[in-house]
Homo-oligomer: A and B are copies of this chain.
Amino acid sequence: MIKSTIRDVARMAQVSISTVSRVMNTPDSVAESKRNRVLEAIEKLQYQPNSFARGLIYKKSFTLGLLIPDIENFYYTGIIRGMQDACIKFGYSLMICNTDRDKDRLLSYIDTFHEKQVDGIVFASDVLYPEYYEKLVRTKIPVVLLSTHSDEYDIPCVEIDDEAAAYDAVKFLIELGHREIGMIGFNHDNSISGPPRYEGFARALTEAGLERNVGKIRFATHRFEHAYDAAHELFTDYPELTAVFCVADEFAMGVISYLKDRNVLVPGQVSVVGFDNLRMANMFIPKLTTIAQPIYELGYRAAEKLHELATTGNVSVLRERMAHKLIVRESSREK
């Protein structure tokens, strides 16, 4: 009933434990006859080397940790798929920790990572507060930031160009002929992409001589319902709006849902552009026009970068940017 050990295998194959170890690690250094006997014993005993013992020696756990703020968000779910594939490529396991945007939980997951000695951590949890940074540094575990970055610390990161992406979205709306454009954004104080996306919005507007719109913005906090409420505020204050740029697909859905409840047609009367291109963007009615992030690739790349960092001690490019792309579907129309 007990897990078999290298000793059991050695005994059954009539060899020493070193020989067994060798067939597991450098099979060519063992005479064929013995090797076969060992292999047979391994098969018969369903032997699996004990990863604790190995970890003790190698000082590596062959697992990576991932910190995300909200697993019930297709954005992070796509990240996970990318990371998991990269992990398989490199032979890592992945330990996914969902903080639910709870600070204490995040901190305690870092402890877990430290204790379990993960070989690296991908931090995809928005702003890297000093408190998080300090704790992360003290563990001495390599860290890569995903869809976030730090101005103060030199931590490798992979992300998109939020300012440019937002600019593209708003410019598209302008080219469609819209003149009264609003925005549903992320709060500037506890999100990393909030400010740059706002700046992209403002720049596109300004370049087109539409500065009067730059204040037509309301903020929401991640969820559909908040965006619904924010849309209500936005349209109450600015009923003239014919288009709104949303910094998340979920916000776009909230806005469209609000408009629908007010019998305003999308895209008939109001155009809505989202951000992320989640799987849902294509399922919603109407299908969302949106800025596509290379979500899967972002996750994949973060793991690659972390592997590079954990293996070589540093990375070739510190801050990496991946390309975004506007996807035109049904929620936008010419004015």
Interface residues of A (CB under 8 A from B): 1, 3, 46, 48-53, 55-56, 59, 61, 63, 71-72, 74, 77-78, 80-81, 84, 88, 93-98, 100, 105, 111-112, 114-117, 138-140, 224, 250, 253-254, 256-257, 260, 279-280, 282-285
Cβ contact within 8 Å between A98 and B115: no
Q: A117–B5 Cα gap in the complex (Å)?
A: 13
9 A-B contact pairs sorted by A residue (CB < 8 Å):
A1-B140, A48-B115, A51-B115, A52-B52, A52-B55, A52-B61, A63-B116, A72-B78, A284-B284
Which of B50, B56, B98, B283 contacts A257 (CB under 8 A)?
Answer: B283
Q: A50–B59 Cα gap in the complex (Å)?
A: 10
Q: A114–B112 Cα gap in the complex (Å)?
A: 20
Which residues on the B side are within 8 Å of A94 (C-beta)?
Answer: 95-97
Cβ contact within 8 Å between B279 and A254: no
Cβ contact within 8 Å between B72 and A81: yes
Given contacts A50-B117, A72-B77, A95-B96, 4 further A-B contacts (CB under 8 A): A46-B138, A84-B97, A88-B105, A280-B280
Which residues on the B side are within 8 Å of A254 (C-beta)?
Answer: 283
Task: Identify which of A51, A88, A111, A282 gathers the most chain B CB atoms within 10 Å of its CB.
Answer: A51
Which of B48, B61, B72, B111 contacts A74 (CB under 8 A)?
Answer: B72
Q: A81–B224 Cα gap in the complex (Å)?
A: 19
Whether A72 contacts B279 in the complex (CB less than 8 A), given A51-B117, A52-B56, comes out as yes
Nearest chain B CB to A57 CB, angstrom units = 9
Nearest chain B CB to A220 CB, angstrom units = 13
Which of B1, B50, B105, B116 contacts A56 (CB under 8 A)?
Answer: B50
Cβ contact within 8 Å between A81 and B56: no
Which residues on the B side are within 8 Å of A77 (C-beta)?
Answer: 71-72, 77
Which residues on the B side are within 8 Å of A257 (C-beta)?
Answer: 283, 285
Which residues on the B side are within 8 Å of A88 (C-beta)?
Answer: 105
Nearest chain B CB to A16 CB, angstrom units = 21
Nearest chain B CB to A81 CB, angstrom units = 6
Q: A139–B3 Cα gap in the complex (Å)?
A: 8
Cβ contact within 8 Å between B280 and A260: no
Which residues on the B side are within 8 Å of A283 (C-beta)?
Answer: 224, 250, 253-254, 257
* Nearest chain B residue, comparing its CB with the CB of A93: B112
Q: A46–B140 Cα gap in the complex (Å)?
A: 10
Cβ contact within 8 Å between A117 and B52: yes
